[in-house]
Amino acid sequence: MLRISGLIKTYRTGDKALKDVTFEVKAGQVVGLIGPSGAGKSSLIRCINRLVEPDGGKILLNDLDVTGLSRGELRQARRRIGMIFQEYALVERLTVMENVLSGRLGYVSFWRSLFRQYPPEYVSNAFALLDRVGLMAHADKRADALSGGQRQRVGIARALGQNPELLLIDEPTASLDPKTSRQIMRLIVEICRERNLPAIINIHDVLLARAFVERIIGLRAGEVVFDGPPQALDHEA
């Protein structure tokens, strides 16, 4: 599980992006992070994988104190956090399979040029993931030949390929049409339940969040102003 307590981030410009943010996410729970632009959503996500250095507070991922890690230890720790992005961040000229393998192998083209093959156990694991996200038939296609929804499925499979203990998901459907967005949200939530994975989804579309996640955290001006099930949002002023 993920435990965040008293998290503070003030940028050098003086912007107070996070002011004492505290919450926990249990295994298998998917949290939708909502709030107006500038509320601190990206800062929060970036503090958790330490792309941004928090100024105070603690972040615990199971037994690991993320805030206490040195630069060297951070590399290892980032393997434990799966990232899924709005624009997918795939390697366009690599195949679907190779993109998924890159979640675990790191430099796939290095493996290809040096050994002309990938470790069989990694390949079978990648096939299982492609099957789960419905892309088995597309394994050998180049990433740039796929539709947006298919590309995001590759992004999901790649994140899962590194056997993460947490998923951080940044606006996963912002570049997709409404129908595909719903399919992707459903897939993410189902997979997190199956694998008992905690996840935080930075999501602009409140209606979409309400329809698929069991818990919503609302941020405003760096503070948690709502934390509860989507139904409870109706009773907010």
Distance set, CA 67 to CA 23, 165, 189 (Å): 15, 16, 27
Q: 10 Å Cβ neighbour count for 42?
A: 17
Instruction: Write down the least CB distance from residue 44 to ligand ADP, Å.
Output: 7
Q: What are the two backbone dihedrals, phi and then psi, of residue 101, each rounded to the nearest 5 degrees? A: -60, -30
Q: How far is the CB of 36 from ligand ADP (least distance, A)?
A: 7
Q: How far is the CB of 86 from ligand ADP (least distance, A)?
A: 8
Closest separation between CB of residue 52 and ligand ADP, Å? Answer: 7
Decide whether 154 or 217 has the Cβ nearer to ligand ADP. Answer: 217
Judged by beta carbon, residue 161 or residue 222, the one nearer ligand ADP is 222
Using the minimum distance from each CB to ligand ADP, give the nearer residue, 105 or 199: 199
Least separation in angstroms between residue 105's CB and ligand ADP is 28
Q: At what angle do helices 120-132 and 96-105 cross, to 10 degrees?
A: 120
SS (H, E, C) 117-173: CCCHHHHHHHHHHHHHCCCHHHCCCEHHHCCHHHHHHHHHHHHHHCCCCEEEEECCC
Instruction: Tell me how far the alpha carbon of residue 164 is from its chain's centroid.
Output: 10
The contact set with ligand ADP (CB under 6 A) reads: 11, 13, 15, 17, 35, 37-43
Between 18 and 191, CB nearer to ligand ADP: 18
DSSP state of 174: T
- Is 15 strand, coil or helix? coil
Pick the closer one to ligand ADP by CB: 87 or 190. 87
